[in-house]
């Protein structure tokens, strides 16, 4: 459904239909800039689709906290998603800490693309992203490829992002365990 002039109402109708589409494996809904909240509903409902493994939302404007929450829930709940493409959705700086925690422990996602044509990702979000990538590896996740073209503005941001991927048992305990135990850890 690429370039179909989908709007909020059509998106919500599609989302309702997806609740019954239990065999769906691939969904491409790109180039629908008026999709808005309809896209949020679609993403949320796809979280419960048992066979969905490829979602492409390229060029849909989704830069809201509600959209970021729907993406977080998708990453957290889905047990089959392997490829998620969110290029040019303006979602990068709305992704929450919960999203990065869920990404760190996701076992199925292989490919994540959030490239942007304009604007970059905030340094704090880049750092959270780096930690999530490191956590995904530590927790034996499947994440192999992340496309962040245009998200990193300079060499310092790149260096910080890479440094954040170096995580320790302390970092892991702080993110997924008991903060009280983490405080008692040395080195």
- Residue 173: the pLDDT is 82
Residues near 156 by beta carbon (within 8 Å), at least 6 away in sequence: none
Cβ(41)–Cβ(69) below 8 Å: no
Secondary structure of 99-132 in HEC code, one letter for each residue: HHHHHHHCCCCCEEECCCCCCCCCHHHHHHHHHH
* Stretch among 49-53, 67-71, 136-140, 182-186 having the lowest mean pLDDT: 182-186
- Residue 3: the pLDDT is 83
Domains of the chain: 8-184 (3.80.10.10)
Query: What band does 73 get if pLDDT is binned at 50, 70 and 90?
Result: very high
pLDDT of 124-165, one tens digit each? 999 999 999 999 999 999 999 999 999 998 899 999 999 999
Q: Please state the pTM of the whole predicted model.
A: 0.91
Burial 109-126 (b: 16+ CB within 10 A, else e): bebbbbbbeeebbeeebb
Neighbours of 137 (CB within 10 A): 15
């Amino acid at each position: 459904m690429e370039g179909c002039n989908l709007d909020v109402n059509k998106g919500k109708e599609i989302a309702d239909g997806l609740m019954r589409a239990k065999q769906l494996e691939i969904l491409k809904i790109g180039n629908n800039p008026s999709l808005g909240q309809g896209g949020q509903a679609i993403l949320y409902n796809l979280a419960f689709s048992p066979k969905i493994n490829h979602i492409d939302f390229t060029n849909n404007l989704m830069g809201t906290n509600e959209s970021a929450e729907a993406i977080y829930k998708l990453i957290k709940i889905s047990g089959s998603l392997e490829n998620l493409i969110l290029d040019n959705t303006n979602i990068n700086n709305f992704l929450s800490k919960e999203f990065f925690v869920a990404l760190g422990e996701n076992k199925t996602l292989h490919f994540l693309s959030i490239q942007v044509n304009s604007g970059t990702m905030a340094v704090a979000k880049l750092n959270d992203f780096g930690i999530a990538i490191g956590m995904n590896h530590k927790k034996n996740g499947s994440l192999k490829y992340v496309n962040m073209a245009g998200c990193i503005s300079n060499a310092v941001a790149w260096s910080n992002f890479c440094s954040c991927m170096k995580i320790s048992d302390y970092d892991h305990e702080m993110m997924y365990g008991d903060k009280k135990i983490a405080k008692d850890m040395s080195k």
